[in-house]
Amino acid sequence: MAKNTLLLYGRMFITMLISLYTSRVVLKALGVEDYGIYNVVGGVVSMFSMLSSSMIVSTQRFISYELGRSEENKLNKIFCTSINIHALISVIIVLLLETIGLWFLYYKLVIPTERISCAFWVFQISILTTIISFTSFPYNAIIIAHERMSIFALMSILETVLKLGIAISLSNINNYDILLVYSIMIASVQLLMRFLYSQYCNKNFKEASYHLIFDKALFKDMLGFAGWNMFASSATVLSNQGTNILLNMFFGPVVNAARGIAVQVQNTLTQFSSSFQTALNPQIVKLYAANEEDKMKTLVLKSCKFTYILLFIISLPLLVETKTILQVWLGDIPDYTIIFVRIMIVTIIVEMTARPLTMAVEATKKIRNYKIITSGVMLMVLPISYVTLKTGMDAHIVLLIQLFLSVISYFFRLHITQRLILISLSLFMKKVCIPCLLITIPSFSISFGIHLYLPSSFYHVFIVIIIAIFVSITSSFLWGLDANERCFIFNKLKKI
């Protein structure tokens, strides 16, 4: 797990740096208005595409479970069944996008008249890109379930580098619509990655060979599991992209550009914590399948705590020096970007530290009530946001509502997890909440205090960032880790 985590963090750091620079290049090449159009049009597609992305979770869970039980006979059936379900969902998604999606595009989104034709073709290309991505999900799931994180990391780095190459090449496009060309090239990258994933899996995993098969019981089991995950994914997408559409309706595409930048930061932090969790998730399921529930509980608690620690260390400098970092990254900062970024950083910390609880529940396969309750809470962001915006509130209130509902959802997650895998609330407070508070309070107080105390200068931001990282790491080591974890780190440092 440690080896896989390091591989995924190496992947994350490389892709994060490239992605951040790519965003700057794309924003400059497209301009604020076209960047906002691409963000909001792509958001409409994402509202539907995330319905299918939950299948990767389903496929990975079923494969990991059979690997934990050492049952290899069902692996090919699981893979073929996942392909069949993806094909079915793809047809449904295309129908929805070409009807409801187009209606949204023409009648609800605020897009300049002269750009509506381009937005239509960007929308169609985004649908194609999404379908290509769908067909890669079963292969991704097999690689993760088998814990081949080196291949997963290399593929991700290659995809990010190709997207950077596309961004740089935009400056050389003169006779064509840059936004349209950018969409076509992104679709081409997805097609190439789909080919590479399938070739690797076909050569290395015997269960990755597709043939037409229909196991009614397995199909129903996987579709039911995926169905509840799709319900949860749709709630997440509606709360995220629905707010994006609301902001477009009330404030126009410039605010969408600000939110798009904030989402880029949010996605980068998500990748950071997902790198750690991706390495642990198969182990959580395998331990449950092997009836080693005590080890699974320990792993879940440690995963929650370490996810928070790792996210907090990288997020603290961003929270304290948001304005300066955005100026260095983007140059010109669209309105609302600073407040959007700060709120979304806190939101993603809350949501990602709850992910290990979700994986523990999914290992049991008893996910119906969990998904209904947590998704219902998150869907409340749309009616509440609409009412508040109607009363004349500012744009950032939408993101504050989303943060508040994420906290409420966290309490429900704890309660349900407590009943299913018997992790007591007192144990969670002792092992996760109290250490995280002991890290946060002194680290934030010292970092923000120094930020206010030091006079503005060229070196100000570097000093504050270094101090923020140092105090957060020190606090994590002193108060976030227990004696065994500190001893483990000391021993590893001695070997190094």
What is the per-residue pLDDT for 463? 87
Condensed to tens digits (0 to 9), the pLDDT of residues 274-305 reads: 767 777 777 888 888 878 888 888 888 888 89
What is the per-residue pLDDT for 102? 83
Q: If you average pLDDT over residues 66-83, what whole number do you get?
A: 75
Q: Smallest Cα–Cα separation from 71: which of 198, 204, 203, 207?
A: 207
Of the residues 423, 441, 464, which one is the last residue of a structural domain? 423
Task: Quote the tokens at residue 373.
Answer: 């309750």
- Name which residue leads in pLDDT, 23 or 407: 407
**Are residues 467 and 414 located together in one domain of the fold?**
no
Buried b (16+ CB within 10 A) or exposed e, 325-340: bbeebbeebbebbbbb
**Are residues 339 and 418 located together in one domain of the fold?**
yes
Q: Give the range among 224-228, 319-323, 443-447 with minimum mean pLDDT.
A: 224-228
Task: Quote the tokens at residue 189.
Answer: 């990258």
Q: If you average pLDDT over residues 456-469, what whole number do you get?
A: 81
**Are residues 84 and 64 located together in one domain of the fold?**
yes
The proportion of the chain whose per-residue pLDDT surpasses 70, expressed as a percent, equals 93
**Are residues 63 and 140 located together in one domain of the fold?**
yes
Condensed to tens digits (0 to 9), the pLDDT of residues 129-153 reads: 778 777 777 787 788 777 777 787 7
Condensed to tens digits (0 to 9), the pLDDT of residues 336-375 reads: 888 889 999 999 899 888 888 888 888 888 888 888 898 8
Q: If you average pLDDT over residues 206-226, what whole number do you get?
A: 79
**Are residues 150 and 23 located together in one domain of the fold?**
yes
**Are residues 413 and 437 located together in one domain of the fold?**
no
**Are residues 434 and 401 located together in one domain of the fold?**
no
Name the residue range of residue 439's domain.
426-496
**Are residues 288 and 388 located together in one domain of the fold?**
yes
**Are residues 416 and 430 located together in one domain of the fold?**
no
Q: With contact defined as beta carbons under 8 Å apart, do 32 and 204 qualify?
A: no
Say yes or no to pLDDT of 432 above 80.
Answer: yes
- Alpha-carbon gap, residue 385 to 342, rounded angstroms: 19
Alpha-helical (H) ranges within 290-367 are 293-320, 322-330, 337-353, 355-364
What is the per-residue pLDDT for 331? 72
**Are residues 30 and 85 located together in one domain of the fold?**
yes
Of the residues 400, 423, 446, which one is the last residue of a structural domain? 423
**Are residues 160 and 86 located together in one domain of the fold?**
yes
Cα dist from 30 to 9, 126, 177, 319, whole Å:
30, 17, 10, 27
**Are residues 200 and 301 located together in one domain of the fold?**
yes
Task: Give the count of domains, the chain.
Answer: 2
Condensed to tens digits (0 to 9), the pLDDT of residues 151-209 reads: 877 888 888 888 888 888 877 777 677 888 888 888 888 888 888 888 888 888 877 77
Q: Smallest Cα–Cα separation from 332: which of 250, 245, 261?
A: 261
What is the per-residue pLDDT for 439? 92
Q: What is the mean pLDDT of the chain?
A: 81
pTM equals 0.72
What angle in degrees, to the nearest 10, is found between the helix axes of 337-353 and 253-289? 10
Q: With contact defined as beta carbons under 8 Å apart, do 118 and 177 qualify?
A: yes
